[in-house]
Structure formats: C-alpha cells, structure tokens
C-alpha cells in the first residue's frame, strides 16, 4: 500500500501559536489542511484567504484549501494568489460547472481536489474523476469538528481505491473526519492514503505539539503496522 501521509487541520490548532506550531509541522506534515466555510454551504465560518496568505509565508508544505462554500468560483483566484497548493471544492457545488472549475483551478497554478460529503455517491463524480489530483472523502457531515465517524464511508473509500486501481486514476485518497486511533486501522485497510488530523487525531492528544505528534505516530503505527 502507498505510504500514509498526514495533513493537520489548522482550524483545530492553537492559532495564537501559529508560527511556532507551523515551524514544527514543516518537518513532519505532508500537507496543511485549511477549512474555508462561508456560513451558507455549512453553518460555520472558519478560515479565509487572508489566513492562507499569512500561512504561505511560513509553510514549507502544500496548503490544501477545503472549500465548504456555496460558490467556490469566488475563491479560486484569491486563494491561488494567497499561496494555495491545492484547491478542493465540494462535489455538491460543482454540478453545473465541474469542468469549468477544474480548468480554473489548474489555470491558477493549483492542483485540483474534490471533496465528497457522506451522502454523495462517487458516481456523481464519474465524468471527471480522471482529472482530480486528490479525492477527499468526508467521514462526517461537513461543517463542524468533533463529529462521530460515519462507518458507511469505509465502503466509499474502498470503492475509490478500486476505481483508482482499475482505471489508472492518479488521485490521492484523503479522509476528512474522525481520523484517530479508533479509526486508523479500518481507514488504512480500506485504502485511505492521506489522513486529516484534527483535535482527536493530533491537537487534543497533548498540550505540547511535538509530544502530540509522537503520540499520533505511535497510535497510527500500532493500529496499522506502518
């Protein structure tokens, strides 16, 4: 299986310690996960293109912007200029503009991600899956941290892995929601490659981020053997 990769969810970090924590994570993480919510597609409002601009000055790993917004087209240019490496809109917002959005993200110099809410079937993405660099499968409903794991998503992850192998797709399979010691084994076995780490998977494990990272790695290795 592919090497596991880790993407800390920065809305769960101590933002007062942003510079210090990013300096540590630059040597550990594979991506930075930045949730951008508009208060419409989901009820919450979180980070912004201005946050991405500040982060890009100190980040040494790609910044992945997860757009939980109704109109993702309004964010592509500003996020690309701010330093985003990946722009990941939701499939539910792309119904009538998927190819246009994919083209706009690529033209802006970013890689293309697509996120899928739990109730959305992968078949909805079938016509453009071959164009996607990263497929983010949500294992909780979008909008808030700390929700319970939706076990039915294990089958969706396995299907994404099977389609990738059978059709030669190149996307990374990423999981967003409840990635922690209780789910690592099943997620990895199903085919997950990139694990988004929030409060339960990283930031809530210890007040010291280096200690929390060591605990996460030990938990992951203990559950998956890798």
- First-to-last alpha carbon distance for the chain, in angstroms, is 10
| 48 annotated binding-site participant | no
Q: Which residues are catalytic?
A: 35, 176
Q: Which two tokens stand for residue 217?
A: 């790695």
| 176 annotated binding-site participant | yes
| 225 annotated binding-site participant | no
Question: Which residues touch 165 (CB under 8 Å, ≥6 apart)?
Answer: none
| 200 annotated binding-site participant | yes
Q: Which two tokens stand for residue 214?
A: 């060591």
| 146 annotated binding-site participant | yes
Give the Cα separation of 187 and 201 in Å (integer): 13
| 178 annotated binding-site participant | yes
| 133 annotated binding-site participant | no
| 199 annotated binding-site participant | yes
| 66 annotated binding-site participant | yes
Give the Cα separation of 91 and 113 in Å (integer): 10
Per the CB < 8 A criterion, the answer to whether 76 and 94 are in contact is no
Q: Which two tokens stand for residue 2?
A: 């592919």
Q: Which two tokens stand for residue 154?
A: 């294990």
Question: Which residues touch 152 (CB under 8 Å, ≥6 apart)?
Answer: 118
Q: Which two tokens stand for residue 197?
A: 């780490």
| 212 annotated binding-site participant | no
* H/E stretch holding 20: helix 18-25
| 208 annotated binding-site participant | no
Binding residues for substrate: 66, 143-146, 176-178, 198-200
- Which residue positions form the known binding site for a divalent metal cation? 33, 35, 66, 176
Residue positions forming the annotated binding site = 33, 35, 66, 143-146, 176-178, 198-200
């Amino acid at each position: 299986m592919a090497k596991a990769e880790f993407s800390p969810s920065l809305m769960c970090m101590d933002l007062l310690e942003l510079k210090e924590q990013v300096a540590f994570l630059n040597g550990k993480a594979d991506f930075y996960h930045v949730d951008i919510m508009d208060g419409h597609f989901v009820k919450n409002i979180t980070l912004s293109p201005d946050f991405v601009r500040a982060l890009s000055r100190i980040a040494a790993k790609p910044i992945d912007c997860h757009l939980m917004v109704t109109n993702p087209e309004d964010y592509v240019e500003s996020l690309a200029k701010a330093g985003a490496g990946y722009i990941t809109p939701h499939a539910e917002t792309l119904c009538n503009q998927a190819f246009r959005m994919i083209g706009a993200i690529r033209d802006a110099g970013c890689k293309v991600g697509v996120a899928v809410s739990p109730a959305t079937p992968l078949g909805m993405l079938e016509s453009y899956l071959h164009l996607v660099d990263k497929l983010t499968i949500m294992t909780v409903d979008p909008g808030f941290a700390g929700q319970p794991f939706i076990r039915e998503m294990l089958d969706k992850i396995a299907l994404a892995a099977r389609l990738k192998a059978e059709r030669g797709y190149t996307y990374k399979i990423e999981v967003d929601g409840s990635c922690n010691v209780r789910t690592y084994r099943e997620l990895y076995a199903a085919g997950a490659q990139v694990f988004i780490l929030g409060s339960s998977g990283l930031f809530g494990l210890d007040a010291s981020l280096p200690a929390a990272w060591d605990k996460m790695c030990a938990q992951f290795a203990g559950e998956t053997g890798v």
